[in-house]
Structure 1
């Protein structure tokens, strides 16, 4: 993500309605959530809080991120959509991350973490994507995945094979996700799949704000 990106816009969009009793000032909670999603480890995020005289555990910040339930904004109308799938390591198991990206803006449109990959899962991913965004008239950019091709055909969507070009946007996102999940082991250490799925949607929200 750009190092000089402004955090103010996305901070304003973080909703803290889930908070009932919390001594931490809400601005610092929002700042902590955004800093972690923007690339700071949980340990370093806690260190930032300490600068403000607030002592919180890494698990507390993790819970704030999880409970905030952030995700990409619905209702986008892209001309093209790059879709791909990649393997994500979660503890000792492998999961498949499905992602759809607008190659013109590099914004993440939708993500889904699945225990495997097949035509049924790909079809469900496209169904959710169509519910969230206006993509029926978009051209879908896919690689050689048979499940993605089948899903496009079953949904009656226009698609073409593309390994480079506009597909570089989704590859860039995947590289950043893998960098985050391998560099910061405390992101997914001992995490359940649904928690990791929530974190990835939160990451998508932050990515869209900061690109």
Structure 2
């Protein structure tokens, strides 16, 4: 798909009707949300708006992103699902990001940020994933994490231990997320876990439309 088609599609999918009495043109609001999720820092996004004579602060763009309530579309039927977990830093605290990716398309299917990693949390993640997508006949690609194995067994899902290969898709997503949080620490610095979780869902939305 041509790059401009993906760009137009993403803009069309962003609904900013939540904004009342906002003088910023909706097209610029949509584009600012997309640019930030695609890799632009809040400061640079504000500078982008200034080019068009729009004076906004970083917190305004931040609020646009979160109030848009973006998240990956449901109803997918992937043949394979790569699932993994990784540590995400929120100030001085560590959280666990769970993610499921369709390795055939590299699309993010579901994300969840949790304060720890347990069998119960892994089970809940798989339950949410099954509610959102038709994955019961998919082959799940997991690493050696015992909670992921147990969750697959509990839900009766076919899974395969794989360290590399198709699981590289989820590792690629994790690298991108960590690159964003390192380069643009204003995303997760002084942020509540709920806010970070919302941002990650918004990131997944943009990732699926722009990769």
TM-score, normalization by structure 2: 0.97
Cα distance in 2, alignment partners of residues 72 and 129 from structure 1 = 11
Aligned to 2:130: 130
Deviations 1:122-152 (A, max 9, x none): 0000000000000000000000000000000
Q: Secondary structure at the match of 1:108?
A: strand
Cα distance in 2, alignment partners of residues 184 and 157 from structure 1 = 37
CA offset at residue 16 of structure 1? Answer: 1.2
State yes or no: 1:210 paired with 2:200.
no
Cα distance in 1, alignment partners of residues 13 and 205 from structure 2 = 10
Q: Secondary structure at the match of 1:207?
A: helix
Cα distance in 2, alignment partners of residues 6 and 153 from structure 1 = 38
CA offset at residue 162 of structure 1? Answer: 0.2
Query: What runs of 5+ residues in structure 1 fail to find an aligned partner?
Result: none
CA offset at residue 69 of structure 1? Answer: 0.3
Aligned to 1:141: 141
State yes or no: 1:21 paired with 2:18.
no
| Bigger mean CA deviation after superposition, 84-93 or 18-27 | 18-27
Aligned to 1:35: 35
Alignment of 1:1-211 (within 5 A): 6-211=6-211
The Cα RMSD (Å) is 1.3
Query: What runs of 5+ residues in structure 2 fail to find an aligned partner?
Result: none
Q: Secondary structure at the match of 1:47?
A: helix
TM-score, normalization by structure 1: 0.97
Cα distance in 2, alignment partners of residues 92 and 5 from structure 1 = 40
